[in-house]
Amino acid sequence: MNPLHLRSAGTSLVISTHRGEAEIVHWGADLGDTLPDLSLLNEPIPPSSIDANVPTGLLPQASSAWQGRPGLRGHRITDGVAGLDFSVRLSAVSADADGRTAVVIQTDPDAGITVASHLTLHPGGLLELRHELTNHGTSPFHVDELATMLPVAPDAVELLDLTGRWCRERHPQRRAIQQGTWVRTGRHGRTGHDSSLLLAAGTAGFGNRHGKVWATHLAWSGNHEQFADRLADGRTVLGGSELLGPAEVVLQPGETYQTPTLFAAYSDRGLDGISEAFYSWFRSRPHHVSGPRPVVLNTWEAVYFDHNLETLVELAESAADLGVERFVLDDGWFRGRRDDHAGLGDWYVDGTLWPGGLTPLIEAVTSRGMDFGLWVEPEMVNLDSDIAREHPEWIVRPAARSPKDGGRLPLEWRHQHVIDLVNPAAWQYVFDRIDALLRDNNISYLKWDQNRDLLEHGHAGRASVHQQTLAAYRLFDALRAAHPSVEIESCSSGGARVDLGILERTDRIWASDCNDALERQTIQRWTGMVVPPELVGAHIGPSTSHTTARTHDLSFRAITALFGHFGMEWDVRTVTGAERQELKRFIALYKEHRELIHSGRMVRADVPDESLMVHGVVAADHDGGAADSATAALFAVVRTRTGFAEMPGRVAIPGLEAGRNYRVELLFPRPADADYGHAFMEAQPAPWLASGAQASGRFLGEVGLPMPVLQPEHAILLRVTAL
C-alpha cells in the first residue's frame, strides 16, 4: 500500500504510510514515474522538542506530535463521563489507489474511531478530499471538528483570500504568510457574502499568469472555517472544515460523519492555472449545463413588486423583440406578497393579482419562443403568512418552546425567518408546494433565493445549521429528481451562496445584486477564478445603477455582462431608438460568441497599470490535438479609473499559441457607434485599432499591442482570429 501516487495535468499527490499513519508527502508539481525511498524526507528532530519525526498527517494528530490545528477534535461520553478518547492514534490499515482515486482507511481500535479518507485527482488537476469518521465504540462520540488539510511547499509565502458584503462580493485581500493561523470563519448559516471562495497560497508576487499557487475551496453552504496554518517548525497547511455548533454532531455507535469536500488545485502558471483545473472539472460533470445559455430577462429591477399582467406581457413582448430567450418572473407573484413584509412560505399564486393564475403570462412568454422562469425562496417564511399562522412550530428558534409558549425567535432579517426543514412535516410541505408549482405550470427555470443568515438556528432546542444545510440539499435534490429538466439558479441576497456544495445541485449562481458594471468587473473576475462563466449570471442593468447610482454607457454594461451567463434586469420597454438597436447588437454578439465564452480558457493578463483590466476567453482545445486549439479569442480591455501614465502602453494579449499568427481587431465600439466617442480619450488612436493587427501568439503575449487611452469606466472588445 505504499506509497500512493496520483498524477494528472502537471500535478502529483503522494501519500505515504511508511511511518504507520497516512501522511501527505507531496502536493504540487508532477514528480514523474518513479519516486525515491520516501524515508529520505523524514525531518530532523530540532532541539527541545518531541523525540520523534512529526509527519504531516492526512489527518494531523497530536499522538504523532502535530501541534498545529488538529485534524480531529472530539470526545466520547461514556456512563455520563465526558471528554474521553479526546486524543486518537490513527494508523493506516489500508491505502488503495485506482487510477486517479485513492481510499485510505485509518483506525484507532482503542478509541473506537475509524476514518476513511477519499481522494480523487481529476484529469484537469483538481483534487477532491473528504473524510468519513465512524464511531465503532459502544458510547456516543461528539465530533467537534473534522478538518480537511493539505500541506503546501515552503516557497508559498503569500496568501490570497476573498471577502465581501452585499453588493460587493468576492473581493481579494493579500498578506504575507507568517507563523500562526489565518482563519476565515463563516457563521452565517449560509455560505455568506464574505465567504472566501478560494484560499490561495503562492510564491512571492504570484499573479494571474505567473508563480506557483496552491489553492483550496470548501464545498459547503453552512457554517465553516477555512484556514492557513504556518507552524513554528516552518510547515504550512491549507484547510477547511464545517464549523459545528455545540453537540451538533453526536455519533451513536456505528454512525458516520462525513466532512464537506475540500477541492484543491496546484498551478505553476499563476491563478489562471487554478481556474483551468476548476473549469475542467465543472465541464466534465455529466450534469453540467449543456447547449447555448439562453439570454435572460429578469423582472426584478424592471418592476420590483409591481406585478400586473398587462405590464408584464408588454415586458415579455419587448424582451422577445430584443432576442431574449428566457423570461424570469421575480419576487412578488405569490399569496399576500405586495412587499417584503409578507407572504414567504405561502407558495400559491396570488389570486387577486393573478385571477387566471400564472398561465396567461406563461403563455405570453412561451408563445413568443421564450422559456419561463420563476423566483422562489423555499427555505424562508414571513410571520405574516398563512403558513406561519398555521404552523408557528415550523419557524426556527433557539429553544424548544414554541412561540406561543414564549419561545424566543431569532432577530428578523428582511422581515423574515427560516422554516425548519429538519422537521419532516415542514420539509414535506415545502417540497409539495414547489413540486405542485412545477407540475401545474410550464416552468423551465427556478431562481431559488435565500435571503437571510441563519442565527440562533435550532431544531428541538439544539443547534442545527448542520442538519438544516443537509435538509436544504435534500430539498434541492428531491425537486431536481422530480423535475430533471428544470434549471435552478442559486441566489442568496445576490451572491451569498456561491460554493461547490450548492453548485452540485444548481445550474448557475447569481453573483451579486449589484448590476453596476464597474463593481461587476471585480466581482465576476474573482467569482470566475473558480466558477466558469456559463454558471455566473451577469445582467445589464439600467443606465443608472439601482444599487450604486453610477451611470454607465450601454457598451460598458454589455461588455461586462458578456463574459457570464448574459441577460438583462431592466425595464426594456423604455429602451428605444438607437439604444435599442445597440442593445440588439450586443444580444446578437453574445449569441454569436457564447459557445466560445462558455467553453474556452479564461485568460487574465498581468497588467502593471492597475487602472486597466485585460481579460478574455481563448478557444479551448477540444479534441486534444494542437492543430485546432486557440483558433479564436475574445478579449475585453477595461478601464476602471484614470491611469497613472498618459498612455497605458503596450499590453500583452496572453494565452494564445506562440507559434500561430493571429489577427486582432476592434469588435466594439466601431467608429460609427455613439459609444466610440465616449470610450476613447485620444488625439489620435493607435493606427492598429482602425485596421486590425497581425502578429504571432508569441509576439502578442510577450510584446503586446499599444492600448488605446480609454476613458474611465469604459471598455472595448477585441476579437482575435487565428490566420
Contact status, residue 456 vs residue 399, Cβ threshold 8 Å:
no
> How many CB atoms lie under 10 A from the CB of residue 261?
22
Q: What is the smallest separation between the CB atom of 540 and ligand GLA, expressed in angstroms?
A: 14
- Tell me the C-alpha distance between 100 and 6, whole Å: 6
In eight-state DSSP terms, residue 412 is P
Q: What is the smallest separation between the CB atom of 190 and ligand GLA, expressed in angstroms?
A: 12
**Max Cα separation, the chain?**
85
> How many CB atoms lie under 10 A from the CB of residue 407?
17
Contact status, residue 640 vs residue 612, Cβ threshold 8 Å:
yes
Cβ proximity to ligand GLA, 279 vs 510, nearer residue = 510
Q: What is the smallest separation between the CB atom of 302 and ligand GLA, expressed in angstroms?
A: 12
Cβ proximity to ligand GLA, 491 vs 651, nearer residue = 491
Residue 331 a catalytic site member: no
What is the number of the residue whose Cβ is closest to ligand GLA? 331
- AA letter at 679: A
414: left (phi over 0), alpha (psi -120 to 50) or beta: left
In eight-state DSSP terms, residue 600 is S
Cβ proximity to ligand GLA, 111 vs 572, nearer residue = 572
Cβ proximity to ligand GLA, 225 vs 331, nearer residue = 331
- Secondary element (H or E) of residue 101: strand 101-108
Chain centroid, CA 241 distance in Å: 17
For CA atoms 351, 352, 353, 354, the dihedral sign is positive
Q: What is the smallest separation between the CB atom of 546 and ligand GLA, expressed in angstroms?
A: 11
Which residue, among 524, 688, 716, 706, has the nearest Cα to 609 in the 3D structure?
A: 706
- Tell me the C-alpha distance between 104 and 89, whole Å: 15
Cβ proximity to ligand GLA, 494 vs 541, nearer residue = 494
Note if the bond before 392 is cis, omega within 30 degrees: no
- Tell me the C-alpha distance between 542 and 549, whole Å: 10
Cβ proximity to ligand GLA, 315 vs 637, nearer residue = 315
Cβ proximity to ligand GLA, 415 vs 573, nearer residue = 415
Q: What is the smallest separation between the CB atom of 167 and ligand GLA, expressed in angstroms?
A: 10
Q: What is the smallest separation between the CB atom of 514 and ligand GLA, expressed in angstroms?
A: 10
Q: How far is CA 132 from CA 13, 114, 506, 631, in A?
A: 20, 8, 25, 45
Q: What is the smallest separation between the CB atom of 332 and ligand GLA, expressed in angstroms?
A: 8
- Give helix 309-322 / helix 577-597 axis angle, nearest 10°: 70
Residue 340 a catalytic site member: no
Choosing from 449, 453, 499, 553, which is the catalytic residue? 449
Q: What is the smallest separation between the CB atom of 490 and ligand GLA, expressed in angstroms?
A: 10
* Interacting residue ranges for ligand GLA, rule: CB under 6 A: 300, 330-331, 375, 449, 451, 491, 493-494, 510, 513
Cβ proximity to ligand GLA, 260 vs 373, nearer residue = 373
- Tell me the C-alpha distance between 359 and 524, whole Å: 35
Choosing from 85, 453, 507, 513, which is the catalytic residue? 513
Cβ proximity to ligand GLA, 371 vs 489, nearer residue = 489
Cell numbers linked to 644: 497613472
Cell numbers linked to 163: 471577502
Q: Please list, in sequence order, all residues whose beta carbon lies within 8 angstroms of the beta carbon of residue 388, skipping any fewer than 6 positions away.
A: 345, 381, 382, 394, 395, 417
Q: Please list, in sequence order, all residues whose beta carbon lies within 8 angstroms of the beta carbon of residue 139, skipping any fewer than 6 positions away.
A: 76, 77, 78, 79, 84, 253
Q: What is the smallest separation between the CB atom of 178 and ligand GLA, expressed in angstroms?
A: 37
Buried-exposed string 497-528: b where 16+ CB fall within 10 A, e elsewhere:
bbbbbbbebbbbbbbbbbbbbbbbbbbbbbbb
- Tell me the C-alpha distance between 383 and 397, whole Å: 13
Q: How far is CA 391 from CA 377, 403, 419, 453, in A?
A: 18, 10, 10, 21
Cβ proximity to ligand GLA, 296 vs 634, nearer residue = 296
Q: What is the smallest separation between the CB atom of 510 and ligand GLA, expressed in angstroms?
A: 6
In eight-state DSSP terms, residue 334 is B
Which residue, among 271, 168, 256, 164, has the nearest Cα to 210 in the 3D structure?
A: 271
Cβ proximity to ligand GLA, 468 vs 493, nearer residue = 493
In the three-class reduction of DSSP (H, G, I as helix; E, B as strand; rest coil), residue 589 is classed as helix
Q: What is the smallest separation between the CB atom of 548 and ligand GLA, expressed in angstroms?
A: 15
Catalytic residue list: 449, 513
